[in-house]
Structure 1
Amino acid sequence: MTYLKYKGYLGTIEPDIESGTLYGKLAFIRDLVTYEAVDLKALEHEFRASVDGYLEDCIALGKAPDTPCKGSFNVRVGHDLHMAASVVASRENISLNDLARRALSEYIMNHAGQ
């Protein structure tokens, strides 16, 4: 999927076949922020305006804006995989967090172009 990018936010691009318009929303945040337009150039403009408006609204409300992908997430892997990963991390003298980071990085490097 291709995303629009602005001020650290990512926005989706979706077509509405019936109306012939494009629409999207800010990705990877809990707050719902949407935008729409008739063509891609206008959609990007609306996306940027939506990000700016969202940030302004958060300031006005005294609310911290959601940020996409804060850098931590919980993963449920099951007992056996958790145990195996812990043993490997211990043997390598690294934290389980470092092992998971390395594994994710390697996977992404090997699959990013697909």
Structure 2
Amino acid sequence: MNSMTYKGYTARIVFDERDDIFTGRVLGVRDIISFHADSVAELRAAFTGALDDYLADCAEQGIRPEKPASGKIMLRIRPEVHAAATLAAQTAGKSLNQWAEEAFERAAQA
């Protein structure tokens, strides 16, 4: 995936061959934050501008801007998977949280 990161937010970048422009959209938030430009340099400026505008709008409205991730996750998995993961964590000498974080990190980097 082609992406850009700014202030902890990541945007997915796509080249629109039909319109001959780059388009971007910030990932991990419910609000739609999108931007476009003709060149990579303009795209980076459009991304930072769109995100700065979003943060300024939130501040002006007195609302907390949504973050891409809080660091908390709740999963519903089959009990046998939960038991197997717990056993794997204990075998590795780790908490289930530590073990799961490492598993998520490996999977995300694959």
TM-score, structure 2 length as denominator? Answer: 0.84
Secondary structure, aligned partner of 2:23: strand
Does the Cα contact within 8 Å between 2:2 and 2:14 map onto a contact in 1?
Answer: no
> How many residue pairs were aligned?
110
Unaligned runs of 5+ in 1: none
Aligned to 2:95: 95
Could you say what the CA RMSD is over the residues aligned between the two structures, in angstroms? 2.1
How far the C-alpha of 1:92 sits from its partner, in A, is 5.3
CA displacement at 1:46 relative to structure 2: 0.3
Relative to structure 1, is the Cα distance of residues 40 and 87 closer, same or farther in structure 2, using a 3 angstrom cutoff? same
Partner of 1:60: 60
2:51 equivalent in structure 1: 51
| More displaced stretch, 54-63 vs 18-27 | 18-27
What is the CA–CA distance in structure 1 between the aligned matches of 2:90 and 2:11, rounded to whole Å? 40
State the structure with bigger RCO (CA 8 A, min sep 6), 1 or 2. 1
Gaps of 5+ in 2: none
Aligned-pair CA distance for 1:32: 0.8
Structure 1 stretches of 4+ with a deviation exceeding 6 A read none
When structure 1 is superposed on structure 2, of 90-99 and 16-25 the one drifting more is 90-99
Residue deviations 1:17-51, cap 9 Å, x none?
Answer: 21111111111111111101111111111000001
Counterpart contact for 2:55–2:65, Cα < 8 Å: yes
Q: Report the Cα distance in structure 1 between the residues aligned to 2:100 and 2:90, rounded to whole angstroms.
A: 13
SS, match of residue 74 in structure 1: coil
8 Å CA contact retained: 2:25, 2:33 = yes
Quote how far apart the aligned CAs of 1:77 are.
Answer: 3.3
Counting aligned pairs with the same residue, the percent is 29
2:12 aligns with: 12
The Cα shift of 1:53 comes to 0.2
Q: Distance in 2 between matches of 1:17 and 1:92?
A: 49
